[in-house]
Structure 1
């Protein structure tokens, strides 16, 4: 009950300024590439070793040269044929940084050399833009990640408006409640035929924060339902997007 009252009080104060705060991120400032890797179950240990001990140092070297703004490598907790085994999130501040990654990819596809690629069965590289975030960019202390892909049925402009008025008030509430450290939402630049059109990356406050997910989601939605505009968005969300298989993952490397 205390959690619900805390979230409600925070959001009644925040609703008046929420859209103004998110308007500051309305124009994507960075380009990103999100790379997903798939392996066989038997290949997962080798893939984990490759990403942690070989790819991460390459990314660190790019960042040290000013050729990469930010990166995260996530590895799924469980083998699952429905989705990826690992995902790499690359953020660039300018076209020169994006070009540096493309140059690396031309000789080392997805950042891996030929010997490394024996553990990989498929790769998907998705040029993307971040349309909003909250919390520390590094995911905060002891993050446990949940990555949720979506497809949407409206224009990207309308979807962005929906995200800012419906999704971000919730994710901000989860941070207020202490269950979530940070979040970032990406949209694919060229979404046709992709396995996802938007990707929500949630950094929970350890396993405890993840375990609290359902209770905090319910409390936040109850608080936000007092706002008619948010409630209308909630009622119509099935016409906006569909949620696909979520993955829980651990952070392997960041910079």
Structure 2
């Protein structure tokens, strides 16, 4: 994940653009869509990659949130660090939601495995300590959901850059997985690359639930913003990027038909508790 998928030069951060910068933005938009469209055509998008992920959500009562946060910091983070040092885990992040919300998770664990052996190693851990927690630590947890997933796109640095603030957006989709991945590459990634170029976003990752039927989500977009300032700029940067991308007819067509492809569910804002 060290390599970035940043494309072209920086998009203008201001909406008051000169004719030359509007033309440059339009050309950048076309380049973004063309590059991601070519990536979608390379190979079978639904073929299972060697690399895989596991996304674990934890729920607690409002009163139990402080104890859960302490458990994640004091017990789960050192355990994950040790697994990574032993080569049994490629990458991990523990996120904690900023606000109590009964409708979704309090904490999110994202594990990335380089090989099937690493994934199997985590299953052995889970058998002894469910979701990575000891029995006494699970006292603060009311529900756990573990979702085997496949990473299908990313941009930005592996450590998610300086001072990351996370927005995690779950989706359901209504088309075959192969078509959804092609849609993400041609419609979503040109936007997220544009947000990185504008300086509001540090990094992003898109995950697809491997067995999505009946799950609370089928795909999950993890956005690491450049601090609270980057998050505050979200609406302006989204609007400016979409305006530039709309110069490309293929992207514009995708934007018009996106409601028939996926539905967005409740987004969560979270902070990084530990990662490596």
TM-score tier after normalising by the smaller chain length: over 0.9
Distance 1:89 1:249 in 2: 13
Corresponding residue for residue 8 of structure 1: 25
CA distance in 1, matches of 2:158, 2:40: 16
1:22–1:132 Cα contact (<8 Å) kept? no
Q: What runs of 5+ residues in structure 1 fail to find an aligned partner?
A: none
Q: For 1:91, which of 89, 112, 127 is the aligned residue?
A: 112
So what's the TM-score if we normalise by structure 1? 0.95
Aligned length: 255
Distance 1:2 1:71 in 2: 32
Deviations 1:167-225 (A, max 9, x none): 00000000010000000000000001100000000000000000000000011111111
Given the alignment of the two structures, is residue 131 of structure 1 paired with residue 152 of structure 2, yes or no? yes
> Aligned pair 1:188/2:203, yes or no?
no
For 1:35 and 1:57, locate their aligned partners in 2 and report how far apart those are by CA, in whole Å.
Answer: 17
1:103 aligns with one of 97, 110, 124 = 124
Shift of 1:20: 3.2
CA shift, 1:131, in A, is 0.5
1:245 to partner: Cα distance: 0.3
Question: Which residues of 2 match residues 1-255 of structure 1 at below 5 A?
Answer: 3-4=14-15, 5=17, 8=25, 10-20=28-38, 26=45, 28-255=49-276
1:114 to 1:244, Cα distance in 2 relative to 1, 3 A: same
Q: What is the Cα deviation at residue 30 of structure 1?
A: 1.0
1:2-34 deviation per Cα after TM superposition (whole angstroms, max 9, x unaligned): 534468254344444343356679563411000
How far apart, in 2, do the equivalents of 1:113 and 1:18 lie? Answer: 43
Relative to structure 1, the CA distance from residue 104 to residue 2 in structure 2 (aligned partners, 3 Å threshold; closer, same or farther) is: closer
SS at match of 1:44: helix
Change (3 A) 1:62 1:207: same
Counterparts of 1:154 and 1:19, CA distance in 2: 18
Deviation string 1:114-164 (CA, Å, 9 cap, x unpaired) is: 010011000000000000000011110000000000000000000000000
In the alignment, the residues of structure 2 paired with residue 13 and residue 161 of structure 1 have an alpha-carbon distance, to the nearest angstrom, of 16
> CA, structure 1 residues 24+136, in 2 after alignment: closer, same or farther (shift >3 Å)?
farther
Range with greater deviation from structure 2 (80-89 or 11-20): 11-20
Question: Contact between 1:3 and 1:177, CA under 8 Å: does it hold in 2?
Answer: no
- Distance (Å, rounded) in 2 between the aligned partners of 1:14 and 1:111: 39
| Matched-pair contact (CA < 8 Å) for 1:108–1:114 | yes
Query: Are the aligned partners of 2:33 and 2:187 in contact in 1 as well (CA < 8 Å)?
Result: no
